[in-house]
Amino acid sequence: MNLYFRKSVFLIFLLFTISCNDPGGNENTFISIKTTFGEIKIKLYDGTPIHRDNFIRLVNSGFYDGISFHRIIKNFMIQAGDPATKSGPKKNLPDSLKTYTIPAEFNTQYFHKRGALAAARQANDVNPEMRSSGTQFYIVQGVKLSDDELNQAEQRINSNMKQSRFTGFLKETTDSIRLAGKTMTDAEIQEIASIKMFQYLTAYKNYKISDEQRNTYKTVGGTPRLDGTYTVFGEVIEGLDIIDIIADVQTDSNDKPVKDIKIIKIKITRN
């Protein structure tokens, strides 16, 4: 069985499993993540319904049970959701960042404070729409920041947004030319995309971290540079100490834990 066929079979199976585990309404917005080091309780936001419902379906299907935290960066975040980390016969499945994605749901109310739950995704150069991985998520540990650091974060957010939009214009222009059966040089494509970008920038309003969010980042901590470009869809309500324990484990040069840290079980709960 070739790799392409295995990926196709896995994706069809995963989407079928999800469709058969409908969340059945908005009442199930609290989850419990039982890990190797203890329990983390999370509230899912109703303001990001696509991510909420997708996550609930995966939880109800048992998808996350047995999956590992495969990427850990102290003072930043802990990440899980790659089916390749699951034990048993599914251990060789592909990285879920390369299987299915869901649309971004950016909501200015939700930001990368300490304990935020957010969706991982591929980089802007291949993902200008900033679509989220269907399965991979991370929980923010973060650090406390100063006003100067928050100002720098704002600049980075706006730069990332503009870069992603220009990449999107390039892709749209290239696709349009190809579908029309025309040919153009790279310079001509760049010129068309640049005109679209100029029109976009005339109406662009810089992203601003609110005063309330600034206070949270200064007193509680977080990772503001990802705001507005990665979808936050929940927050930890209990178990921040467990995140600190996981974030403190030894990792290798690729940010992978030296010793396996498992998600034993995720389940829907009532608060």
What are the pLDDT digits (tens) for 177-206? 989 998 899 999 999 999 999 999 999 999
Which pairs from 148-151 meet CB under 8 Å and 24+ separation? 150/209, 150/214, 150/217, 150/218, 150/224
pLDDT of residue 271: 53
What are the pLDDT digits (tens) for 56-115? 999 999 999 999 999 999 999 999 999 889 865 455 555 566 679 999 999 999 999 999
Instruction: Please indicate whether residue 13 or residue 220 has the higher confidence score (pLDDT).
Output: 220
Kindly state the tokens that stand for 173: 């222009």
Whether residue 165 lies inside any domain: the answer is no
CA-nearest of 97, 117, 111 to 51 is: 117
Whether residue 115 lies inside any domain: the answer is yes
pLDDT of residue 14: 52
Whether residue 173 lies inside any domain: the answer is no
Kindly state the tokens that stand for 262: 């498992």
- pLDDT category of residue 7 using cuts at 50, 70 and 90: very low
pLDDT of residue 34: 98
pLDDT of residue 29: 84
Q: How far apart are CA 44 and CA 232, in angstroms?
A: 9
CA-nearest of 252, 15, 226, 27 to 117 is: 226
Residue-range definition of the domain harbouring residue 134:
28-147+207-269
* Cβ pair 131, 124 in contact under 8 A: no
Average pLDDT over residues 219-247: 97
Distance of CA 208 to the CA centre of its chain: 21
* Cβ pair 117, 139 in contact under 8 A: yes
Kindly state the tokens that stand for 123: 């980089």
Tell me the CATH number at 135.
Answer: 2.40.100.10
As to burial, measured by CB atoms within 10 angstroms (0-12 exposed, 13-18 middle, 19+ buried), residue 74 is middle
Global pTM value: 0.83
Whether residue 195 lies inside any domain: the answer is no
Residues present in the chain in total: 271
Whether residue 251 lies inside any domain: the answer is yes
pLDDT of residue 19: 46
Q: How many CB atoms lie within 10 A of CB 184?
A: 15
pLDDT of residue 230: 97
Residue-by-residue DSSP string for 203-250: H-------HHHHHHHHHT-B-GGGTTTS-EEEEEEE-HHHHHHHHTS-
Whether residue 236 lies inside any domain: the answer is yes
20 pLDDT more than 50: no
Beta bridge partners of 41: 32, 238
Whether residue 53 lies inside any domain: the answer is yes
The number of folded domains in the chain is: 1
As to burial, measured by CB atoms within 10 angstroms (0-12 exposed, 13-18 middle, 19+ buried), residue 148 is exposed
Radius of gyration over every alpha carbon of the chain, rounded to an integer in angstroms: 20
| Helices 49-61, 3-19: crossing angle, 10 deg rounding | 100
Whether residue 175 lies inside any domain: the answer is no
